[in-house]
């Protein structure tokens, strides 16, 4: 069984320490180059399959030039067998990227393709679905766990449908699966693997550039920003400190809900009592 895991090198922005407004106060030092954590979750799922199935090969696939080589090798050390690079120019949109990846996946004769649900930097979440469209393969999104019976047999995946709901889906092979974080904890690469992989060569895949124009284009991206806050004029009858507090909070109305205090044991008791009261949990007394 051949499994391809598509991974992306991202620039993770962790701070805003710059002075320049046009770059949103982000400087070069505020970025760190790493692999998208969703893709690492996908890799962990693939390696889980490799643990259970004999003769399974896990191939890493990435696009573009090397920007986070150290982290790429770390991914390789987690237990992947090969690493392939598709050389392209920069500034491709999701559609073209997925076309290239789809062609590469076809070349690699993959039975199962994993990718992350979305990337941490752009977060468009297009690659998986587009690839599935190009390859005409079934696609399951936001997968947290996977069970593979064998080559040719359908796989069972557990997916997170949001709002705490989970779903188990059966899907025929070959298929494309996008993973989300929160399932398995990615394994820790061993030193022996790190030593082996520090010199491993990266295969270069020759893939023709996409000829068709993109059918889906993102026209404009708005950077994330906090919801605008409605400032209520402060109540002049209040004490100065309360007025400052009111300004900071947006209103002097107490927020709904209650703060659980006390020792951890007591806090747990209170939370459990709340959940039972609201019927999220069956009554504890009945069980015991």
Given the rule CB under 8 A, which residues bind another protein? 12, 14-15, 17, 27, 29-30, 32, 34, 71, 74, 185-192, 194-195, 262-264, 266
- Which residues on adjacent β-strands are paired with residue 158? 145, 168
In the complex with another protein, which residue's Cβ is closer, 263 or 288?
Answer: 263
Residue 31 CB, nearest approach to another protein (Å):
9
- In the complex, the smallest distance separating the C-beta of residue 47 from another protein, rounded to whole angstroms, is 11
Residue closer to another protein, measured from CB, 14 or 280? 14
Specify burial of residue 7 (Cβ count, 10 A radius: 0-12, 13-18, 19+).
Answer: buried
Nearest-approach distance from CB 234 to another protein, in angstroms: 25
Nearer of residues 191 and 219 to another protein, judged by Cβ:
191
CA-to-CA dists, residue 264 to 261, 280, 282, 284, angstroms = 8, 21, 22, 19
Q: How far is CA 184 from the centre of its chain?
A: 12
As to burial, measured by CB atoms within 10 angstroms (0-12 exposed, 13-18 middle, 19+ buried), residue 247 is middle
- Residue closer to another protein (CB basis): 22 or 212: 22
Please identify, using beta-carbon distances, which residue of 192 and 206 lies nearer to another protein: 192
Report how far residue 112's alpha carbon sits from residue 177's, in angstroms, rounded to the nearest whole number.
8
CB of 191 to another protein, least distance (A): 4
CB of 121 to another protein, least distance (A): 14
Q: How far apart are CA 26 and CA 72, in angstroms?
A: 25
For another protein, give the closer residue by CB, 17 or 203. 17
Shortest distance (Å) from residue 33 CB to another protein? 9
Q: What's the sign of the alpha-carbon dihedral 187, 189, 193, 199?
A: positive
CA 40 to chain centre: 8
Measured distance CA(111)–CA(129) in Å, rounded: 17
């Amino acid at each position: 069984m051949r499994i391809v895991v598509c991974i992306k090198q991202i620039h993770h922005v962790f701070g805003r320490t710059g002075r320049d407004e046009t770059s949103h106060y982000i400087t070069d030092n505020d970025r760190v180059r790493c692999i998208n954590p969703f893709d690492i979750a996908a890799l962990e799922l693939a390696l889980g399959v490799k643990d259970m199935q004999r003769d399974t090969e896990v191939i890493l696939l990435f696009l573009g030039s090397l920007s986070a080589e150290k982290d790429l090798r770390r991914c390789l050390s987690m237990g992947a067998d090969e690493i392939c690079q598709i050389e392209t120019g920069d500034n491709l949109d999701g559609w073209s990227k997925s076309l290239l990846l789809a062609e590469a996946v076809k070349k690699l004769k993959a039975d199962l393709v994993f990718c992350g649900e979305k990337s941490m930097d752009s977060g468009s979440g297009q690659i998986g679905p587009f690839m599935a469209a190009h390859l005409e393969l079934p696609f399951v999104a936001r997968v947290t766990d996977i069970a593979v019976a064998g080559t040719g047999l359908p796989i069972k995946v557990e997916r997170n449908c949001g709002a705490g709901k989970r779903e188990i889906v059966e899907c025929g092979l070959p298929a494309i699966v996008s993973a989300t974080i929160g399932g398995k904890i990615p394994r820790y690469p061993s030193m022996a693997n790190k030593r082996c992989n520090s010199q491993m060569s990266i295969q270069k895949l020759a893939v023709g550039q996409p000829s068709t124009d993109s059918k889906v284009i993102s026209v404009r991206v708005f950077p994330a920003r906090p919801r605008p806050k409605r400032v209520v004029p402060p109540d002049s009858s209040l004490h100065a400190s309360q007025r400052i507090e009111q300004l900071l909070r947006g209103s002097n109305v107490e927020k709904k809900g209650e703060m659980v205090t006390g020792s951890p044991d007591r806090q747990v008791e209170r939370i459990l009592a709340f959940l039972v009261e609201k019927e999220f949990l069956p009554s504890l007394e009945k069980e015991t």
